[in-house]
Amino acid sequence: EVQLVESGGGLVLPGESLRLSCSASGFTFTSSWMSWVRQAPGKGLEWVASIKQDGSEKNYVDSVKGRFTISRDNAKNSVYLQMNSLRAEDTAVYYCAKDQRCSYWGQGTRVTVSS
Amino acid sequence: DIVMTQTPLSSPVTLGQPASISCRSSQSLVHSDGNTYLSWLQQRPGQPPRFLIYKISNRFSGVPDRFSGSGAGTDFTLKISRVEGEDVGVYYCMQATQLPFTFGPGTKVEIK
């Protein structure tokens, strides 16, 4: 059974940083792209970033380029999202998803950016 | 960026009756590899999204056959042949043909 478990969310001040983690199990992690998708309160879904199996290719939505970094540790079956210079508009539930088409989703971790 | 639109945004349906959701993209979703990366996802209240349909019409593992997808190019449709109570939620189309990947605004399906 595919399982994705996110962690690392919380309440931070504007301008601060946060690192999200996603632990994966139940599938061959090294064979899958991995993605992060977010959902602001009461809003729809927004793709944030994806990373290739070996980490050699990373893609981002324009609104987070230069501030967020996606990475992975294949030895730990984990994917990460380093979020710097956080803004109020980054407030959302952040989901980890399997592959670029987002075939499996975790339960999400909530990030709140507020003063 | 490819803009995804959905109609209707809200769909009150009677149990046992069909429901249909339309999704339109601002550009063709046909990839250079010949595939069309248009997916449908369901988000039940308080739950994460669930993958339903991929590449227009392929049902994902465990998805009931009352869900079907169709379309081509820029126009796509999700149909539920007979709505059940567990189908209540928001349905999103998503394109993964061109970066950045984008979602439709969502269609809320509720029981009349």
- pLDDT of A19 reads 98
pLDDT at B80: 97
At CB < 8 Å, which residues of chain B contact A?
Answer: 37, 39, 41, 43, 48-51, 54, 60, 90, 92, 94, 96, 99-106
Of A47, A60, A105, the CB nearest to B102: A47
Among candidates A47, A64, A54, A56, which has minimal Cα distance to A101? Answer: A47
pLDDT the model gives residue A82: 98
User: Residues B13-68: pLDDT tens digits?
Assistant: 999 999 999 999 999 999 999 999 999 999 999 999 999 999 999 999 999 999 99
What length is written for chain A?
115
Which strands sit side by side in the sheet containing B67-72, from one edge to the other? B4-7, B19-25, B75-80, B67-72
Contacts of A108 in chain B (CB under 8 A): 48
For position B81, what pLDDT does the model report?
A: 97
Three-state DSSP string of chain B: CCCEEEECCEEEECCCCCEEEEEEECCCCECCCCCECEEEEEECCCCCCEEEEECCCEECCCCCCCEEEEEECCEEEEEECCCCHHHCEEEEEEECCCCCCEECCCEEEEEC
How far is residue A35's CA from residue A72's CA, in Å, rounded to a whole number?
11
Residue range A66-70: mean pLDDT, rounded: 98
Element (DSSP H or E) covering residue A43: none
Confidence (pLDDT) at A91: 98
**Tally of CB atoms within 10 A around A36:** 28
* Bridge partners for A35 per DSSP: A50, A97
Phi (first) and psi of residue B80, to 5 degrees: -110, 115
How high is the pLDDT of residue B52? Answer: 97
Report pLDDT digits (tens) over A16-56: 999 999 999 999 999 999 999 999 999 999 999 999 999 99
Please report residues of A whose CB lies closer than 8 A to that of B43: 45
CB atoms B94 and A45 under 8 Å? yes
Query: Which of B48, B100, B106 is opposite residue A62, by nearest beta carbon?
Result: B100
Gap from A60 CA to chain B (nearest CA, Å): 7
Query: Nearest C-alpha of chain B: how many angstroms from A44?
Result: 6
Rounded mean pLDDT, A1-14:
98
Name the band, by pLDDT with cuts 50, 70 and 90, for residue B1.
very high
Portion of chain B with pLDDT greater than 90, in percent = 100
User: In chain A, what residues touch B3 (CB-CB under 8 Å)?
Assistant: none
